């Protein structure tokens, strides 16, 4: 008798479960086996899902702690950016003011433009005054910002923890900054840059420039008068008289078309060429004793003039002027003061009245024996008698150039104008050189004052150490146990709970090398420029001060060599320097001082939060455990909403709500124009 594979004996009695309960006679699985397999599989699937859900939710608290630490440190990064912009504004405003004052010094050293110097110096001083007030405002705003920074960190981090609550899981926590209070030294913002010394030096420089300008104008007027007497017919001039009286031309009698290409020496050379030709070609122009006398007197006069002009000289350099030109004798008294009076050149004969002086032995009155030569002084001294026929004496010699000196048709007339103008020119040029020496002294003092101002600006760049500068340590907890979802447990496995959890994390700031050339200041300046009137402050002779400040502001940072270029370009924009030695020297020195000022480049790489081991931050702060952070957290509300509300209330009590104005920025070059620098608290306070 065979039994049933189903375990029955044919009468319906149950005997228990054997292998035949799960495997049929034909080798297939029984319904029971399939049902049990499905049941076990579903239990495993749902159990695994529940375990995965539990483990994932258990690990989430660490991820939330990481995000919370990063959110807290983001507030410090925002402060770092704001502080960089404010420091850049303060520094570049100082450089702008000093450079503008330097331009005023250079302009003061340009005599034709020195009257513009006070307005330029005043503009620079106002920029420095505005910088001083802005620095105070910025320091106050940054201190207030730093005071509120822990609350901002708390609000932002608490809001981040709250925002991660979902799916029945809630998180409460926040980040604690280290250091917890500011350790920034704001004395750098109190560094004053005084323009008063440069202003005084510029005044002295401008005063000396004015003296030089007045002397220069006198010298130019004198030189112009001499040039005209030498080259411009009014009605005649030396050039035309030489051409008419001697037929000299070319290099022996050149024409100079402008006073700029003419020198006093050229007139001396022309006159010497003229008298050399007149001496060589002199002869009586007709018969008669009177003409013979005049011809003999002219011969002596031309020889004397040729020799005298050879001894005369004209020296005109940047440091020395000597015009050794003299008017030729044209009166009896003037003849008596020269060798024409004492030279023993006149022939004498023995006449019945005594030894008689003649103009020549060809004189009809020379009837006696030749007894030697005498001087014209001999007539006045009694050693010789004046010939009654030729009447040669000192007066006759004086008459040679008398008419040609005193009428506007004579060569000596225009030569006298040249000589008189040379004396005026010499005095004026000596005054000009003396004034330039005063200018050089004042310029050196101005350079020293500029150097001191640049030294005041070249202090070490500030090292900001706000709360959170070392990092933020976050503590986040899941304050309540959470049951696993019913969908995972109710049908196949017993219900379970995810217990409370706590996680600690930390973040600090690290420079992002990829942002070494970031354009934050360029964007800041573009934003400021959009807020100011379109018409900039165009400073005469120099350029646009606002543009200078913009160039300096954008150049501030790692590429600091551009600051030297911007300042140099601005100083090079001072026109009228060419030909002015003191101005050119001073501008070169000021450019060199900007170049060698040692202004420390600012590191403008953006600071970004990065996760670090919490102990790294705590060690920096001098703590050995996370107990401090946990203690702070335990004193705060355990409800996420209450914690965010608490933190937001702290921020509002310190900074207000919405926007916080950290400083009022005066725009260099635009007097009376200020732009409020505001911080949108909603963007750094977790939207709370």
Contact call for residues 109 and 443 (beta carbons, < 8 A)? yes
Residue 32 lies in a domain: no
What the block records as the tokens of 406 is 């005193």
List Cα–Cα distances, 127 to 98, 190, 666, in angstroms. Answer: 9, 16, 8
Residue 247 shares a structural domain with residue 343: no
What pLDDT does residue 85 have?
A: 80
Q: Are residues 317 and 418 in the same domain?
A: yes
- pLDDT class of 679 with cuts at 50, 70, 90: confident
In a domain, 537, yes or no: yes
| pLDDT for 657 | 66
Residue with the bigger pLDDT between 138 and 368: it is: 368
**What is the tens place of the pLDDT at every residue in 640-659?**
666 667 667 777 766 666 67
Mean pLDDT for the stretch of residues 442-447: 90
Q: Count CB atoms within 10 A of the CB of residue 377.
A: 17
Q: Is 56 left (phi over 0), alpha (psi -120 to 50) or beta?
A: alpha
Question: Out of 122-131, 169-178, 182-191, 334-343, which region has the weakest mean confidence (pLDDT)?
Answer: 182-191
> Is the pLDDT higher at 501 or at 453?
453
Range of the domain at 544: 49-191+459-684
In terms of pLDDT, which residue wins out, 225 or 198?
Answer: 225
For residue 31, the model assigns a pLDDT of 74
Residue ranges in 343-386 assigned as alpha helix (H): 376-381
Number of domains in the chain: 3
Q: Could you tell me where the DSSP H helices lie in 164-185?
A: none
Helix, strand, or coil (residue 273): helix
Res. 534: pLDDT tops 50: no
- What is the average pLDDT across 53-71? 74
Is there a single domain that holds both residue 470 and residue 609?
yes
Residue-level pLDDT at 634: 62
Residue 26 lies in a domain: no
- Percentage of the residues of the chain whose pLDDT score is greater than 90: 34
Quote the distance between the C-alpha of residue 260 and its chain's center: 35
Residues 354 and 408 occupy one common structural domain: no
pTM metric for this prediction: 0.71
Residue 274 and residue 248 in contact, taking contact as beta carbons nearer than 8 Å? yes
* Omega cis (within 30) before 445: no
State yes or no: pLDDT of 613 exceeds 80: yes
Q: Same domain for 379 and 504? A: no
pLDDT band of residue 216 (cuts 50, 70, 90) is very high
Q: Coil, strand or helix: which one is 28?
A: coil
Whether 12 is covered by a domain: the verdict is no
* Average pLDDT of the chain, as a whole number: 80
Where is the domain boundary, 396, 424, 444? 396
Residues 415 and 534 placed together within one structural domain of the fold: no
The verdict on 316 and 391 lying in the same domain is no
At 557-568, the pLDDT tens digits run 654 556 667 777
Q: Enumerate residues 6+ apart whose C-beta is below 8 A from 29.
A: 22, 23, 37
Judge if 391 and 412 occupy the same domain.
no
Whether residue 666 has pLDDT greater than 50: yes
Q: Last residue of some domain: 458, 476, 501?
A: 458
Percent of the chain with pLDDT over 70: 73
Which of 64, 2, 159 has its CA nearest to residue 474?
64
One domain, residues 58 and 120: yes
Instruction: For residue 2, name the pLDDT band (cuts at 50, 70, 90).
Output: very low
CB 607 within 8 A of CB 77: yes
Strand 346-351 and strand 538-539: the pairing is unpaired
Q: Cα–Cα distance between 229 and 238 in angstroms, integer?
A: 6
Q: Are residues 300 and 376 in the same domain?
A: no
């Amino acid at each position: 008798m065979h039994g049933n594979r189903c375990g029955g004996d044919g009468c319906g009695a149950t005997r228990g479960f054997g292998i035949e309960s799960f495997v049929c006679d034909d080798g297939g699985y029984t319904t029971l086996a399939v049902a049990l397999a499905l049941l076990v599989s579903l239990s495993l699937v749902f159990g695994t899902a529940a375990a995965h859900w539990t483990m994932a939710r258990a690990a989430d608290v660490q991820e939330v702690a990481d995000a919370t630490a990063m959110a807290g440190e983001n507030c410090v990064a925002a402060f770092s950016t704001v502080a960089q912009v404010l420091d850049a504004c303060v520094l570049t405003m100082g450089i702008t003011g000093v450079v503008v004052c330097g331009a005023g010094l250079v302009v003061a050293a340009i005599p034709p433009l020195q009257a513009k110097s006070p307005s330029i110096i005043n503009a620079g001083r106002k920029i420095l005054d505005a910088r001083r007030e802005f620095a105070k405002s910025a320091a106050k705003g940054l201190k207030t910002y730093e005071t509120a920074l822990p609350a901002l960190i708390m609000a932002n981090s608490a809001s981040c923890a709250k925002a991660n609550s979902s799916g029945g899981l809630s998180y409460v926590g926040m980040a604690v900054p280290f250091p917890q209070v500011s350790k920034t030294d704001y004395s750098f913002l109190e560094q004053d840059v005084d323009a008063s010394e440069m202003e005084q030096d510029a005044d002295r420089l401008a005063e000396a420039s004015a003296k030089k300008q007045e002397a220069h104008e006198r010298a130019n007027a004198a030189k112009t008068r001499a040039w005209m007497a030498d080259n411009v017919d009014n009605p005649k001039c030396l050039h035309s008289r030489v051409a008419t009286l001697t037929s000299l031309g070319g290099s022996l009698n050149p024409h100079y078309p402008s006073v700029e290409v003419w020198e006093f020496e050229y007139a001396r050379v022309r006159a010497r060429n003229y008298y050399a030709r007149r001496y060589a070609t002199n002869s009586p122009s007709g018969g008669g004793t009177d003409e013979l006398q005049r011809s003999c007197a002219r011969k002596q006069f031309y020889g004397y003039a040729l020799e005298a002009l050879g001894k005369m000289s004209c020296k005109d350099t940047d440091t020395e002027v000597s015009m050794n030109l003299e008017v030729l004798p044209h009166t009896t008294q003037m003849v008596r003061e020269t060798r024409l009076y004492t030279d023993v050149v006149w022939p004498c004969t023995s006449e019945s009245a005594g030894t008689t002086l003649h103009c020549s032995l060809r004189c009809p009155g020379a009837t006696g024996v030749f007894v030697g030569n005498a001087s014209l002084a001999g007539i006045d001294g009694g050693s010789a008698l004046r010939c009654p026929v030729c009447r040669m004496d000192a007066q006759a010699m004086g008459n040679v150039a008398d008419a040609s000196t005193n009428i506007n048709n004579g060569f000596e007339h225009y030569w006298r104008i040249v000589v008189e103008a040379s004396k005026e020119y010499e005095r004026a040029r000596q005054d000009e050189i003396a004034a330039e020496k005063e200018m050089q002294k004042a310029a050196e003092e101005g350079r020293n004052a500029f150097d001191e101002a640049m030294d005041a600006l070249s202090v070490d760049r500030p090292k900001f150490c706000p709360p959170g500068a070392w990092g933020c340590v976050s503590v986040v907890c899941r304050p309540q146990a959470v049951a696993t979802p019913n969908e995972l447990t109710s049908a196949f496995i017993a219900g379970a709970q995810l217990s409370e959890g706590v996680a600690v994390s930390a973040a600090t700031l690290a420079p992002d090398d990829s942002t070494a050339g970031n354009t934050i200041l360029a964007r800041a300046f573009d934003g400021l420029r959009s807020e100011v009137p379109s018409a900039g402050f165009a400073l005469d002779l120099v350029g646009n001060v606002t543009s200078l400040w913009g160039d300096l502001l954008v150049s501030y940072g790692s590429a600091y060599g551009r600051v030297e270029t911007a300042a140099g370009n601005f100083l090079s924009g001072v026109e009228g320097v060419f030909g002015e030695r003191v101005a050119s020297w001073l501008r070169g020195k000021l450019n060199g001082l900007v170049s060698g000022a040692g202004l420390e480049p600012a590191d403008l790489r953006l600071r970004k939060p990065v996760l670090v081991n919490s102990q790294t931050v705590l060690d920096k702060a001098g703590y050995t455990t996370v107990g401090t952070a946990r203690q702070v957290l335990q004193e705060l509300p355990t409800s996420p909403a209450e914690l965010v509300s608490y933190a937001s209330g702290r921020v509002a009590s310190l900074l207000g709500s919405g926007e916080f104005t950290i400083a009022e920025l005066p725009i260099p070059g635009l007097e009376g124009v200020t732009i409020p620098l505001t911080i949108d608290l909603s963007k750094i306070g977790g939207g709370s």
